[in-house]
Amino acid sequence: MKRVLAAAVLALAACGSKNASTPTSPTTAPPPAAEPDPLRAAAGTAGKLVGTAVQSAFLTDSRYTAVFARHFDYVTAEYEMKWDPIERARGAEDFSGGDAIANFAAARGMRVKGHALVWHQAVPSWVAGLSAAELRTELERHIRSVASHYRGRVVAWDVVNEAIDDTTSGLRDSMFRQKLGDRYIADAFRVAHEADPQALLFYNDYGGEALGGKSDAIFSLVKGLVDQGVPIDGVGLQMHVRAAAPPDEAGVAANMRRIAALGLRVNISEMDVRVGDAGGATAANLDRQRSVYRSMVAACVAEPACDAATFWGFTDAHSWIYSAYGADAPLLFDAQYAPKPAFYGVLDALMHR
């Protein structure tokens, strides 16, 4: 039942996006005449949602919001729905950042994906001192509280994020696994489902986009959950990739297909394409970046179970890549909000070009 309802919600979102070029707010500056076609209209025609991560602080910048509202119909909180920003002091929850994002989205007919209920990073410092029994209680309370708070306002949650270890391809030996055992993952999905039975529940990870050891590990984790009857609805492929060594499109398509064959959805959940180490001239790097964006989004467009493509930001003015990897230009618009070749790569993929 949940899948039917949620599918209707996503289909509705896709229909609504066809009218996306209508200005939606008096505070949103109209786009200049030379603005390219809205991504959300093309995505709607393809039956997909097109998303971006945002931070509430950016929503006061009208140049930012004009491009955000024109092109996207799906939004993920880049930071503000994680445990640490919500509950830095134990028992004192602050939903203001996530609420600002959810309210902005609701006013413009965008859907919201919650991110992320259980992640080994962005955990409040007080959590480290908990005993196993206390951690079980507090993690369950956290999931229940946050999923209940956003019930009816998010269509999906990343319930567990990045639980696979990079080197062993076993489960990451996080505090959660050490204290709660492997079952913390299944338990998290069950609690999230109780708190928000309508939300689609995703497992989200990086580095498992095409076929290979990590994607095999993700696949067997989610297959195990499906086999146990755990309420999981899909897998998010983060897609933080490099233009110099992009995932292979056929491998991504095959990986999406095997996930879909489990009865799950799949989405591109955090895409960006680094060019900082690509080595070529700027124009050549940006063209390689365009082609990576085009081929990865094309894999989603071709896969019926792929319901959304979300980018981890949209303007090179703001990206987590700079603090994690150094100078770069990883997104669809440049720092002045002009569309880059990457933007046209995404548009082409959505329009089957």
Cβ closer to ligand XIL: 116 or 253? Answer: 116
Neighbours of 37 (CB within 10 A): 15
Q: Give yes or no for a contact between 347 and 37, defined as CB atoms under 8 angstroms apart.
A: yes
Rounded least distance, CB 215 to ligand XIL, Å: 16
Cβ closer to ligand XIL: 196 or 270? Answer: 270
Q: Is 204 helix (H, G, I), strand (E, B) or coil?
A: strand
Rounded least distance, CB 49 to ligand XIL, Å: 18
Rounded least distance, CB 162 to ligand XIL, Å: 6
Cβ closer to ligand XIL: 270 or 316? Answer: 270
Rounded least distance, CB 236 to ligand XIL, Å: 9
Cβ closer to ligand XIL: 120 or 257? Answer: 120
Output phi, psi for 189, to 5 deg.
Answer: -65, -40
- Enumerate the β-bridge partners of residue 75: 52, 112
190, 115, 187, 197: which is closest to 152 by C-alpha?
197
Q: Give yes or no for a contact between 53 and 77, defined as CB atoms under 8 angstroms apart.
A: yes
The answer for residues whose C-beta is within 8 angstroms of residue 136's C-beta and 6 or more apart is 179, 180
Q: Which among 140, 209, 270, 303 is annotated as catalytic?
A: 270
Cβ closer to ligand XIL: 270 or 328? Answer: 270
Rounded least distance, CB 121 to ligand XIL, Å: 7
User: Can you read off the two tokens belonging to residue 46?
Assistant: 């393809």
78 is catalytic: no
Q: Which among 162, 194, 249, 303 is annotated as catalytic?
A: 162
Catalog residues that contact ligand XIL under the rule CB under 6 A. Answer: 78-79, 116, 161, 238, 270, 320
Q: Give yes or no for a contact between 114 and 156, defined as CB atoms under 8 angstroms apart.
A: yes
The answer for residues whose C-beta is within 8 angstroms of residue 83's C-beta and 6 or more apart is 117, 119, 122, 123, 124, 127, 142, 146
87 is catalytic: no
Residues marked as catalytic: 162, 270
